[in-house]
Structure 1
Amino acid sequence: MKLSILDQSPVAQGQTATQALKHTLDLAQKAEKWGYHRFWISEHHDSESLAGTTPEILLSHIGAHTSSIRLGSGGVMLPHYSPFKVAENFKMLEALYPDRIDAGMGRAPGGMPRATLALSEGNPRHAERFPTQIDDLLRYLRGEPIPEYPYGGAKAAPIVDTPPPVWILGSSGSSAQLAAQKGLPYTFAHFINADGGERFVNHYVNNFTPSEQAEKPQHMVAVFVVCADTDEQANYIASSLDLTMLQLEKGMPLHGTPDPAQASQYEFTPYELSRVEENRRRMIIGGPEIVKAELEDYAKRYQTDEVMVCTITYDHQDRLRSYELISEMF
């Protein structure tokens, strides 16, 4: 089984976004050393707790300080942008780091409504155009004209021999259906939605239409994981993520990932405890034995040979240790 990483550049309480981005680079370098297959980074806006806003820029920095691990976006929120400009960004990355770049695309806003409006200068966001935008992006990446547009003859530069593969990212049946129709690789975000994923992936596999990019289905599942030397330690560390997700659900302001010492002392109401239990369905928490068994189970359930791991902790060393332990299992 191949293991990959999705990193969201989490900012710990009391630390800065600059430190978080340095931690992302440190993790990418160690992930390459530990044998991880891909290292993807996310896009979030108007957030004090997640520092990654522009994947293409951060990928360029990481590419300059690594040599072999595949790099990608998990993902670029395409409805905010022009497919032409996104194609230029990823062709530039491909020119700089040939055969190492993945162009992961999503349709979610990646932030609250005011950030969406700020990105579009107050204009409505048309997420329903996402399928058409994917078509346009593919044609720009391949250097194919788009005759239905008066400007469709423009060529996204630089010109490269190998356009980076486009992945569809999602947490719903519609994203799986779109990836199958377009014949594109698909990543299901179990860390966002713990319901229906196996059914959506099954639809993707059974309805996949071969394309110029892919002759057969290619997919993976992304899940939150916190691994430590013992089950008890892992659950203590993961209490930070429990509290973070609860605060997000309640619309509370977030100023970074809280210290587990603080999170473990939080007095949860019965309702909040039920929400923590529900959110844990999106996570794998435990020592090496539990985590290994559950990762293998996820791969089996999702009919995949690749699992993407996302780990958020207060302490960067805990995050590194989690990924190191996982790499030692496989």
Structure 2
Amino acid sequence: MKLSILDQSPIAKGRTAKDALNETEELANLAERWGFHRFWVSEHHDSGALAGTSPEILLARLGAKTSTIRIGSGGVMLPHYSPFKTAENFRMLEALYPGRVDLGIGRAPGGMPVASWALSEGRPRNASRFPQQVDHLLMYLRDQADETHPYPNVQAGPVIDTVPPVWILGSSPGSAALAAEKGLPYTFAHFINGDGGRDYMAEYLTGFTPGVQAEKPQNMAAVFVVCADTEAKAEYIAKSFDLSLLMLLKGEKSSGTPSPSEAEKIELSNFEAEQIKENRKRMIVGTPDLVREQLQQFAADYQTDEVMIVTITYDQDDRFRSYELIQSLGLHEKRSPDS
């Protein structure tokens, strides 16, 4: 099994976005040392809890600070942008770090509606364009724009001899079907949607049509994980994220990931307690032995040999320790420098 990391640059309550970005850089270096396969960063807007707004810029920094681990976007929210500019951004990254860059794309807004309006300067966001945008992006990346393309004579620079692979990211049957139709790798965000993903992945695998990038399907699934030395410690740490997800559901503006001690003091209604239980479907929480067992089952359920891990904690040391314990489980195949 390959193990990878999606880091959302979480901001702990009382700390700053700059702190979170520095932690992302430190974690990328540790992930490379520990042998994780990929290190992806996300795109979120107008968030007090997550600092990653521009994966392209952050990847430029991470590429310079690492040497072998694959780096990528998890992902660029393509409906906000032009495929041409996205192709240029990732051709630039590929030119700087050849053979190490992944271009993960999605159609989600990555924030509340007001942020989408601000990104488009008031123009309506049209996610229905996404399939066509994917086609145009692939054409620009591969210099294959033809008469079907609105701008057949323009070339995305810099002109290079390698192509960053495009991944479709999603949490719905539509994204799985699109990835299968376009012949692209697919990542299911189980950490966003804990229901239906196994069926959607099965449909992707059976419906895959070879495309310009791949002859056979390539798939991955991403899940929240908190691993600690004891079950009590893991459960205590996870209380922070339980509360964060609950606040998000209630539409409350976040000032950062709360501490476990703050979360423990909250008196939960029956509805809130049930919602936390429901959210735990998106998480794996426990000791190394339990996490090993559940990651193996998770990979089997999703018919994949690669799992991407998302860990958000209040304390940086707890987050880093969780990843350190996971890498010590002996689950993942060691990454070679040219893989």
TM superposition score category, shorter chain reference: over 0.9
Structure 2 residue ranges without an equivalent (≥5): 331-339
Tell me what 1:151 maps to.
151
Structure 1 residues 266-313: Cα deviation after superposition (integer angstroms, max 9, x where no partner): 111111000000000000000101101000000000000000000000
Alignment of 1:1-330 (within 5 A): 1-330=1-330
Paired with 1:76 and 1:121, the residues of 2 have a C-alpha distance of 18
Paired with 1:269 and 1:282, the residues of 2 have a C-alpha distance of 21
Paired with 1:150 and 1:187, the residues of 2 have a C-alpha distance of 29
Q: Which amino acid in structure 1 is aligned with residue 312 of structure 2?
A: I
Query: Residue 328 of structure 2: SS of its match in structure 1?
Result: helix
- Of stretches 140-149 and 185-194 in structure 1, the one that deviates more from structure 2 is 140-149
Q: Which amino acid in structure 2 is aligned with residue 238 of structure 1?
A: A
- Contact 2:136–2:145 (CA under 8 A) maintained in structure 1: no
- Contact 2:176–2:201 (CA under 8 A) maintained in structure 1: yes
- Contact 1:63–1:71 (CA under 8 A) maintained in structure 2: yes
Paired with 1:152 and 1:81, the residues of 2 have a C-alpha distance of 19
- Contact 1:183–1:213 (CA under 8 A) maintained in structure 2: yes
Taking a change above 3 Å as real, the CA distance of residues 15 and 145 of structure 1, as seen in their structure-2 partners, is same
Paired with 1:59 and 1:263, the residues of 2 have a C-alpha distance of 33
* Aligned residues: CA RMSD: 0.7
Post-superposition offset of 1:150: 4.8
Post-superposition offset of 1:160: 1.2
Post-superposition offset of 1:212: 2.0
Post-superposition offset of 1:146: 3.7
Query: Residue 18 of structure 2: SS of its match in structure 1?
Result: helix
User: TM-score of the superposition, structure 1-length normalised?
Assistant: 0.99
Paired with 1:149 and 1:211, the residues of 2 have a C-alpha distance of 18
User: TM-score of the superposition, structure 2-length normalised?
Assistant: 0.96
- Contact 2:176–2:204 (CA under 8 A) maintained in structure 1: yes
Query: Residue 15 of structure 1: SS of its match in structure 2?
Result: coil
Query: Residue 292 of structure 1: SS of its match in structure 2?
Result: helix
Structure 1 residues 161-200: Cα deviation after superposition (integer angstroms, max 9, x where no partner): 1110000000000000000000000000000001110100
Q: Which amino acid in structure 2 is aligned with residue 213 of structure 1?
A: Q
- Contact 1:136–1:146 (CA under 8 A) maintained in structure 2: no
Paired with 2:10 and 2:146, the residues of 1 have a C-alpha distance of 39
Post-superposition offset of 1:149: 4.4
Structure 1 residue ranges without an equivalent (≥5): none
Structure 1 residues 185-236: Cα deviation after superposition (integer angstroms, max 9, x where no partner): 0000000001110100000000100112111110000000000001110010
- Contact 2:145–2:151 (CA under 8 A) maintained in structure 1: no
Query: Residue 75 of structure 1: SS of its match in structure 2?
Result: strand
- Contact 2:136–2:149 (CA under 8 A) maintained in structure 1: no
Post-superposition offset of 1:151: 2.7
Paired with 2:225 and 2:290, the residues of 1 have a C-alpha distance of 11
Paired with 2:151 and 2:264, the residues of 1 have a C-alpha distance of 57
Post-superposition offset of 1:153: 1.3
Paired with 1:328 and 1:152, the residues of 2 have a C-alpha distance of 50
Paired with 1:222 and 1:208, the residues of 2 have a C-alpha distance of 20
Post-superposition offset of 1:148: 3.4
Query: Residue 33 of structure 1: SS of its match in structure 2?
Result: helix
